Amino acid sequence: MKGLKLQLIIITVCLISQFFFQCSTSKETSKEVTDDYTEMIGLSSKEYLKRGDSHAFKKEYDKALDYASRAIEVNPESAKVFSFRGHVWYMKKEYNKAIDDYTIAIKIDSESKQLYNNRGIIWNEIKQYDKAINDYTKAIKLDPKYKTAYSGRGNTWYKKKEYRKAIKDLTKAIEIDSEYAIAYYNRGIVWGAKKQYDKAISDFTKAIEFNPEFAHAYSERSGVFNESGQYSKAIEDSTKAIELDPKFAWPYFNLGFSFYKKKQYNKAIKYYKKAIELNPEFASPLNNLAWLLATCPDLKYRDGKNAIRYALRAYKINPDSGKLDTLAVAYAEAGDFKNAVKYQKEAINKLKNKNLKEELTSRLELYKKKKPYRDK
């Protein structure tokens, strides 16, 4: 079976961009500043920003927005105050409002590379890739050695599947700063998408060398190790990623996959469930767990009813051919071959990778004969 429905681990994690904001957003700020609403009238925009920054650091975004708006009332010609409010909107995932504030900030200060870079990140977030590239390019024109914009534009080329351009920009960022961990990490993801796994591992290793606390880099390298069949190394990296960031769902998913391939099904189930617990909208562990429960060679782990439940959740999040294939195999395990045939036909019709058609068709024939599918 094609890598246990692996969602190509190394390309589904979002690439990392650097968001620059010029307030402190520091622990020191949060300790220094306290609210005293009796003293709020007459504060300077700088003081409002300081208080807003303190709340933003503590993820108290509504309070931060209140202070940002007050700062704008005091100083409506300041790009900094609009960019701060745009940053807070971004953190709240209210991206259109963030774009609006950054656009005003750019009108006030059209020579700021950081403003263009930050708006580019937000365009990227809402999949307005051409607009993102345009903003990154403007930032680079303002500063041809602006590594962050090269890295951001590389991310965007990657999302547009223009891998050659992505590699070129990320390599340029590394030429500017040979210890730029984020650029190595992002380029590693692009190499992974191109299935050049040795280069991907090399770049993730470099990212870890320059940032030993980089949990995402460990997690991504574990994904590449899984893809290349090096499951013990994958387990080591996933374990390290979890040590660094226990609430990061991806390394638990990677561990689930590693243990499945090592036929340690109880551990695979445990880690898939942990990934789902941490991120209930994470389709990949939902899908893989459903597949395991439906097709496991070991009878004691098969559970058609729960396989259907997990498969339906995965399909609701990402209704692609692979999720339909899993849903069909789950219905077959539960003895509902009518639905198994129905969804397998839909999976074949939605299939983008025609090289998999023979495999999916062979399962369809099993269901027509009222036989479930067993993984090997």
pLDDT tens across 111-133, in order? 999 999 999 999 999 999 999 99
Of 296, 246, 297, 295, the C-alpha closest to 275 is: 246
> Distance of alpha carbon 203 from its chain centroid, rounded?
18
Count Cβ atoms below 10 Å from residue 275 Cβ, excluding itself: 24
Largest interatomic CA distance in the chain: 79
How far apart CA 257 and CA 260 sit, in angstroms, is 5
Per-residue pLDDT of the chain (376 residues; tens, 9 = 90+): 333 333 333 333 345 555 554 443 444 444 444 444 434 445 788 898 899 999 999 999 999 999 999 999 999 999 999 999 999 999 999 999 999 999 999 999 999 999 999 999 999 999 999 999 999 999 999 999 999 999 999 999 999 999 999 999 999 999 999 999 999 999 999 999 999 999 999 999 999 999 999 999 999 999 999 999 999 999 999 999 999 999 999 999 999 999 999 999 999 999 999 999 999 999 999 999 999 999 999 999 999 999 999 999 999 999 999 999 999 999 999 999 999 999 999 999 999 888 899 999 999 999 999 999 999 8
Exposed/middle/buried for residue 40 (C-beta within 10 Å: 0-12, 13-18, 19+): middle
How far apart CA 344 and CA 340 sit, in angstroms, is 6
How far apart CA 360 and CA 5 sit, in angstroms, is 12
**What pLDDT, on the 0 to 100 scale, is given for residue 18?**
57
Supply 271's token pair: 């880690």
Instruction: With respect to residue 329, please indicate whether it lies within any of the assigned structural domains.
Output: yes
Instruction: Phi first, then psi: give them for residue 149, nearest 5 degrees.
Output: -70, -35
For every residue of 57-91, DSSP letters joined together read HTT-HHHHHHHHHHHHHH-TT-HHHHHHHHHHHHH
**What pLDDT, on the 0 to 100 scale, is given for residue 299?**
96
Look-up of token digits 């700062």: 71
Instruction: With respect to residue 65, please indicate whether it lies within any of the assigned structural domains.
Output: no
324: domain range?
A: 280-376
**What pLDDT, on the 0 to 100 scale, is given for residue 17?**
54
Nearby residues of 105 by Cβ (< 8 Å), 6 or more positions away: 79, 80, 82, 83, 86, 112, 115
Instruction: With respect to residue 128, please indicate whether it lies within any of the assigned structural domains.
Output: no
pTM: 0.85
Please measure the distance between the N-terminal and C-terminal CA atoms of the chain and give it in whole angstroms.
8
E-strand ranges in 251-293 read none
Q: How many domains is the chain partitioned into structurally?
A: 1
CB 187 within 8 A of CB 222: no
**What pLDDT, on the 0 to 100 scale, is given for residue 267?**
98
Give the three-state DSSP class for 8. coil
Supply 293's token pair: 């429960």
Supply 64's token pair: 């931060």
> What angle do the packed helices 215-227 and 197-210 form, to 10 degrees?
160
> Distance of alpha carbon 317 from its chain centroid, rounded?
15
CATH number at residue 344: 1.25.40
Instruction: With respect to residue 119, please indicate whether it lies within any of the assigned structural domains.
Output: no
**What pLDDT, on the 0 to 100 scale, is given for residue 2?**
37
Based on its alpha-carbon atoms, the radius of gyration of the chain, rounded to whole angstroms, reads 24
Q: Is 21 left (phi over 0), alpha (psi -120 to 50) or beta?
A: beta
Instruction: With respect to residue 357, please indicate whether it lies within any of the assigned structural domains.
Output: yes
Instruction: With respect to residue 312, please indicate whether it lies within any of the assigned structural domains.
Output: yes
Instruction: With respect to residue 25, please indicate whether it lies within any of the assigned structural domains.
Output: no
Look-up of token digits 């807003």: 52
Instruction: With respect to residue 26, please indicate whether it lies within any of the assigned structural domains.
Output: no
